[in-house]
Each structure stands twice: as structure tokens, then as C-alpha cells.
Amino acid sequence: MGYYIEIGSPGSPKAEYLCEKYGAWIMNPSSAFKALLLGFGVVCVVTNPAFETAAFCYNTLEFESFFSMECPRQWVVFEDRELAAKLANYKGDCDD
């Protein structure tokens, strides 16, 4: 795990920011997983006690890693997978 999107200011809701700024959608985990399989960009916004983090799920194993976490999280889906990858500074192949 390790491709994160640096956005917003501390304490600002990252999922809502991604939707407003980039036209992404918040989806339930099942829909987000299906979107990942269809080639959409998926970001998991995890809420920890001290901060939120937005992580690019570049493949199904990465998605499952975040899915299995116990802390609150939201799934944000980008129509443009390349944009999500770019925001996370992901250098790999988006067809992984």
C-alpha cells in the first residue's frame, strides 16, 4: 500500500473535495470494486483518529487491503483512471 493523494487542508473532508474538484463519485464498496474492474479510478479515503488519507487503489489487491481495514472509509470513483493515478503520483501501468 502506498500511493496517496495529497489534497485539501488538515481536517477538510477529502472524499467531498475529490467529488467537487474532479467530478468523482462516492460509492459503496461493492460498486467501487465493480468500477475498478471496469477500468475506473478508485480512491479509498480512510479516516483515522487524527487525519484522513486518500489512497489510490491501483489494482484489486490494493483495494482488498483497504477493504479489510477496520477504520471508517469512503470509496471515491473517478471516471478518468489516469487522473486518479496522476493525483496519487502513481508511476505504474494503469492496466495492472
Q: What are the pLDDT digits (tens) for 41-94?
A: 999 999 888 888 999 999 999 999 999 888 999 999 999 999 999 999 998 865
Q: What is the pTM of this model?
A: 0.90
* pLDDT for residue 96: 47
Q: How confident is the model at residue 30 (pLDDT cuts 50, 70, 90)?
A: very high
Instruction: Enumerate the domain spans of the chain.
Output: 4-87
d(CA 91, CA 51): 25
Backbone φ, ψ for residue 42 (5° rounding) = -120, 130
* pLDDT for residue 70: 87
